[in-house]
Amino acid sequence: MIMAESAMESVRVVKSATCGRSLVFTSKFAAGKCLLEELPYAYVLCNKKRGLFCDFCLKQCSTLLRCSSCKYVRYCSRPCQKGDWKRCHKQDCKTLKRIHPRVPPDLAQLLAQIIRKQRQSPPCTQDDEDCFPTTVDQLESHHEKLSDARKDHFESLWFVLQQCIEEDVLPQPSSLVKMFGATICNSFSICDNDLNGIAVGIYLRASMLNHSCYPNCVVVFDERKLQLRTVRDVKEGDVCTISYVDVINPAKERQTELEERYHFSCNCVKCIDEINELEPDDGLGEEFRGLKKSLEQIQDAEKSQDWTKVLELCKPYLKPMDPSSSLQADHHLLVKLRDRAFDICVDTQSWEKAAQMGQLNTDPYRYHYGPYHPSLGIHLLKMGKLLLYLERLQDAREYLTEAESVLEVTHGPQHSLMLTLVQELISSCR
């Protein structure tokens, strides 16, 4: 675990009767302060991303070396292969060969790692109430509140794990279900620099973070390293919060997700304000229904990879909304639809159209995510790159300069994204 001396003092664990353990700031900090850097306790690259990223360091790489034994996992270098062999692949390699051509689901692989790791670490004996946890056992699990769907999921994983793990190593279902519960509500989706989830991991220290839909911190990833950073000015003793869910979603959706996965109801300022402001007919208008239907049809067309149809379906929304429209210009579904259209335009090299789409989404992004959010920073950066490519230098410069000021706070000047992309791009449009 990487832990700079100064970072270690920025937050500490406190225990309260009502919300369990949380992290509080040990001093006042301005926005953009890195509070914590942490390497994962356990992590796996998602099966569907294999071959695009190194299984060990999670770096994106076009030429990866394949494990010559299982021919499944891939690495960017020999040191990464060695590191992973020591970390978990020595055992996993045998399993993968034995069950070939089947591959365990991501979560089964993660649980297998946790099971093996727990066996190596001695049980914790000290009073750990206000210390950082050192094993998954010490995390909140809510296993007694699992929904029926989650219970079914557990059953299927139990079946897989019996084939992956030696009988004498596999815990009893009663203790495994706790581990499963803890993994569901404490795992992080590890994102690449475009904020697409590529891996799933457990970060013991960061799992102490509380939720708010209007958080004072964000978590970002640089390959497999997690960074916790302030996005607002904070006071000593304040509780450190991140959002567990996408804050662009409306309050009701966020609350459903929080209750289902994390088993609590959110009473943050943003939730209360939004619910009080809800009009009785919100979400029932004809235009809203039309938009929702289009999104469903788009998903179907995407499944069959019919990009022409997708863009056709997006068409009515690819212009600024009519002022008489009952749909707000920053409606979250509209933003999502345009985001999809943006990505497809980029993939199909319709650069002009993509730029148009992205521009329509820029203000809604600012509105939903606030001034310092990784999603806003990445959106601005993508737009800047696109406009630079289209040789619209003035616009490109504006986007990239704003991207830099956002990313400096959310990612920090030492993040690989800042070190490479932003600086190169800004200098190329000077």
Interface residues with Zn ion (CB under 5 A) are 54, 56-57, 59, 67, 69-70, 76, 80, 93, 213, 266, 268, 271
Q: Please say which residue, 68 or 126, places its beta carbon nearer to Zn ion.
A: 68
> For residues 35 and 8, is the Cβ–Cβ distance under 8 A?
no
- Least distance (Å) between residue 124 CB and Zn ion: 31
- Least distance (Å) between residue 96 CB and Zn ion: 6
- Least distance (Å) between residue 57 CB and Zn ion: 3
Q: Please say which residue, 77 or 356, places its beta carbon nearer to Zn ion.
A: 77
Q: Please say which residue, 193 or 361, places its beta carbon nearer to Zn ion.
A: 193
- Least distance (Å) between residue 69 CB and Zn ion: 4
- Least distance (Å) between residue 88 CB and Zn ion: 11
- Least distance (Å) between residue 241 CB and Zn ion: 10
- Least distance (Å) between residue 200 CB and Zn ion: 17
Q: Please say which residue, 67 or 219, places its beta carbon nearer to Zn ion.
A: 67
Q: Please say which residue, 69 or 423, places its beta carbon nearer to Zn ion.
A: 69
Q: Please say which residue, 143 or 224, places its beta carbon nearer to Zn ion.
A: 224
- Least distance (Å) between residue 258 CB and Zn ion: 7
Q: Please say which residue, 208 or 271, places its beta carbon nearer to Zn ion.
A: 271
Q: Please say which residue, 240 or 407, places its beta carbon nearer to Zn ion.
A: 240
Helix/strand/coil (H/E/C) assignment for every residue in the chain: CCCCHHHHCCEEEEEECCCEEEEEECCCECCCCEEEEECCCEEEECHHHECCECCCCCCECCCCEECCCCCCCEECCHHHHHHHHHHHHHHHHHHHHHHCCCCCCHHHHHHHHHHHHHHHCCCCCCCCCCCCCCCHHHCCCCHHHCCHHHHHHHHHHHHHHHHHCCCCCCCCHHHHHHHHHHHHHHEEEEECCCCCEEEEEECCCHHHCEECCCCCEEEEEECCEEEEEECCCECCCCECEECCCCCCCCHHHHHHHHHHHHCCCCCCHHHHHHHHHCCCCCCCCHHHHHHHHHHHHHHHHHHCCCHHHHHHHHHHHCCCCCCCCCCCCCCHHHHHHHHHHHHHHHHCCCHHHHHHHHHHHHHHHHHHHCCCCHHHHHHHHHHHHHHHHCCCHHHHHHHHHHHHHHHHHHCCCCCHHHHHHHHHHHHHCC
